[in-house]
């Protein structure tokens, strides 16, 4: 299996993302945040919708991430902004784990 197939791209080995943590992966000039929440993997944009801080530097608790800049909180599975100062949702990308790698669906 190659690292790209039918609109999917391999981001990282699943073992590189510890449980209840996040890592930043850059692919084709785009920064993605890869979350492992209780063994389920989610991929979002790494950039906060408020003031563009890196969410991979934020605090992960349960299924939320707190932005390190102004402490706004996003629901990771849906991208929903949970309250001020956030007003716009976070983009959540379709993700899967296959052959030990976390894959993301990318749009061309």
Q: Which CATH number is 98's domain given?
A: 2.102.10.10
Between 5 and 21, the more confident residue is: 21
pLDDT-derived band at 1 (thresholds 50, 70, 90) equals: very low
The domain tally of the chain equals 1
SS3 for the chain, per residue?
A: CCCEECCEEEEEEHHHCCCCEEEEEEECCEEEEEEEECCEEEEEECECCCCCCEHHHCEEECCEEECCCCCCEEECCCCCECCCCCCCCCCEECEEEECCEEEEECCC
Domain extent, residue 44, equals 4-105
What would the pLDDT profile of 17-45 be if each residue is shown by its tens digit?
999 999 999 999 999 999 999 999 999 99
């Amino acid at each position: 299996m190659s690292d790209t197939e039918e609109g999917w791209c391999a981001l990282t080995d699943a073992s590189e993302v510890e449980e209840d943590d996040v890592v930043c992966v850059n692919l084709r000039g785009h920064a993605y945040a890869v979350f492992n929440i209780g063994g389920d993997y989610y991929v979002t944009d790494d950039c906060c919708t408020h003031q563009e801080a890196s969410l991979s530097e934020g605090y992960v608790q349960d299924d939320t991430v707190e932005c390190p800049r102004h402490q706004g909180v996003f629901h990771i599975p849906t991208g929903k902004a949970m309250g001020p100062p956030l007003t716009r949702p976070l983009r959540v990308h379709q993700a899967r784990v296959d052959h030990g790698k976390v894959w993301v669906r990318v749009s061309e």
